């Protein structure tokens, strides 16, 4: 009897400790607010439907299946201050070719102040790479790229461009989501 009471006391203290730790992890000052989002479960490839790509081999992705063709997602930040935003792109990705081929992705931010790719997506930011076969229908990965940028107050637009390296390599994007948080 004494043994059972002792064991129950240990489990009770352990359980209480676990609950207190979990509550401590859940409470904190950090929080994020979604200020823009889009999803597109449809296949996209070389014949992209958005015309805003910067180079002949690049393609601008359709970000939302629900809105017909949606090449941009808009978001607004408070006037008069700079706001830090996090933009996350998640997508299934495949590209044919050797292990040295890759699909570059650039997250483009446009506003009254200008337009350009957000760092670190503005360089050789590979979303996926080839696996040694020419076909684009194998070697699928579910990949994420994320940028953190400080933007001035106002209306902003986000678009996503992809470019295969080398040019002309077959690629495919599917089941994408884009989330913008502040």
- Number of domains, the chain: 1
Residue 163 lies in a domain: yes
Residue 93 lies in a domain: yes
Residue 162 lies in a domain: yes
User: What CATH number should be reported for the domain holding residue 40?
Assistant: 2.60.120
Write out the residue range of the structural domain in which residue 63 sits: 32-181
Residue 20 lies in a domain: no
Residue 11 lies in a domain: no
Q: CA 100 to CA 180: how far, in whole Å?
A: 31
Question: pLDDT tens across 41-51, in order?
Answer: 999 987 666 76
Question: pLDDT tens across 1-20, in order?
Answer: 555 554 444 445 444 444 44
Residue 123 lies in a domain: yes
Q: Which phi and psi (to 5°) does residue 110 adopt? A: -120, 140
Question: pLDDT tens across 55-98, in order?
Answer: 667 888 999 887 678 899 999 999 999 999 999 999 999 999 99
Residue 9 lies in a domain: no
pTM value is: 0.79
């Amino acid at each position: 009897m004494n043994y059972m009471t002792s064991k129950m006391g240990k489990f009770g203290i352990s359980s209480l400790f676990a609950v207190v730790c979990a509550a401590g992890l859940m409470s904190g000052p950090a929080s994020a607010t979604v200020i823009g989002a889009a999803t597109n479960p449809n296949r996209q490839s070389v014949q992209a439907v958005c015309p805003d790509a910067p180079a002949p081999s690049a393609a601008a992705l359709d970000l939302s299946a629900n809105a017909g063709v949606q090449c941009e997602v808009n978001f607004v930040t408070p006037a008069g201050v700079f706001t830090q935003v996090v933009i996350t792109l998640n997508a299934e990705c495949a590209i044919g070719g050797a292990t040295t081929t890759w699909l570059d992705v650039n997250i483009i931010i446009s506003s009254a102040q200008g337009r350009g790719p957000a760092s670190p997506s503005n360089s050789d930011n590979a979303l996926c790479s080839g696996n040694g076969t020419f076909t684009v229908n194998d070697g699928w990965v579910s990949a994420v790229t994320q940028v953190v940028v400080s933007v001035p107050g106002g209306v902003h637009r986000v678009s996503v461009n992809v470019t295969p390296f080398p040019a002309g390599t077959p690629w495919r994007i599917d089941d994408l989501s884009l989330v913008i948080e502040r």
